[in-house]
Amino acid sequence: MTDTLDVPRVLVRTDGALGRLTLNRPEAINALDFGMVRLLAGALEAWRDDTDVQIVVIDGAGERGMCAGGDVRGLHAQIVAGHADEAAEFFRAEYALNAMIAEYPKPIVSIADGITMGGGVGLSGHASIRIVTERSKLAMPETRIGFTPDVGGTWLLGRAPGRFGEYFGLTGGTMSGADAVLLGFADHFVPSDRLDALREALAYRADPTGPAEIVLLFDETPEPSALPESRGWIDEAFSADTVAGILERLHAHDAPEAAAAAEVLEALAPTGLAVTLDAVREARELPGLRAALEGEYRRVMWFVTRHPDLVEGIRAQLIDKDRNPRWDPASIADLPADAGAGAREFTPEPGLF
């Protein structure tokens, strides 16, 4: 797929033994659309048995970020127009791409330089070698629009230490590169000014068993993450059984950061928070990424077809930009006891895999 100026939205090329996939919508921080998902999947499929391509690198064009996520304005238009089937088709293709990246028979190196959020984490977080930089800003911010993390985000959140998964999943908070390594969203920290040299080394010293060793030559120790200092109150509060329980514990804690987290949660969609809490905890017990993607697909399509908060959240944040969403229900206190059950048990047709 191309834009109006016929500039490819994904640059697909080879460089030595390296297959390179570069998201190429820098004006939109490389936000994913359906055509880009198809191009990425098609290139990976073509290179699967190509002996000339030994390693694949996925990155983004421009200085702002790898990928800011999916086209949520387009999703809003599809839902409002009654085209839930089109939304479902996109999600099935995107999640199949996430699974393909995770299961690919050749090493995939992702470079999450700059903003990498939502769908961008789905591309970067499941690669076999995951790189961040001092400019990296990772997040699963779906609750900010009344939604729930997807693209395998619940799988990653569920495997973060302690209750950081619940914290970042519910608040939609941003991770630095150092945070991402600590939480298991990335493997290596490479300064951004060394990325070109790293790509060249991968291309011309490529060995199907050795890209991790090449990356280690460029790996540096970042400034320590500040997250360990907050683990005490995060684990205490976000281990509560319900969103209301989490909020109560946050209000009872002395840490200023706990009060700030409570303020964030109180502004977000109660239903999205409940569904996300349920999803992260379910994913923590699942056997693999595909199972997590299936759980996410059920919840995502429940929002698309059964609940108004996703449309309302996109409207308030990105369409009308009045920042005054009318959530259903409006208050965390009004959530039913098992608020995540409807989304968890929803059965979309057709299924994901």
Mean pLDDT of 116-133: 99
Confidence of residue 207 (pLDDT cuts 50, 70, 90): low
Indicate the CATH number for domain 10-139+177-216: 3.90.226.10
The catalytic residue among 60, 69, 70, 152 is 70
Catalytic residue selected from 71, 142, 179, 187 = 142
Q: Supply the pLDDT for residue 208.
A: 57
Confidence class of residue 205 from pLDDT cuts 50, 70 and 90?
confident
CA distances (Å), origin 212, targets 9, 16, 126, 183, 209: 28, 17, 15, 19, 8
Residue 249 has pLDDT above 60, yes or no: yes
* pLDDT tens sequence across 46-76: 999 999 999 999 999 999 999 999 999 999 9
Instruction: Give the mean pLDDT of 197-225.
Output: 88
Instruction: Judge whether 119 counts as a catalytic residue.
Output: yes
Question: Would you call 142 a catalytic residue per the annotation?
Answer: yes
Q: For the whole model, what pTM was predicted? A: 0.96
Residue 2 has pLDDT above 80, yes or no: no
268-289 pLDDT, tens per residue?
999 999 999 999 999 999 999 9
Does the annotation mark 232 as catalytic? Answer: no
Do 295 and 123 contact (CB within 8 A), yes or no? no
- For the chain, domain boundaries: 10-139+177-216, 228-345
Contact between 58 and 127 (Cβ < 8 Å): yes
Known catalytic residue: 245? no
Residues 6+ apart with CB under 8 A from 244: 332, 333, 335
pLDDT for 13? 98
Average per-residue pLDDT in the chain? 96
| Percentage of the chain modeled with pLDDT above 90 | 95
Catalytic residue among 33, 150, 219, 296: 150
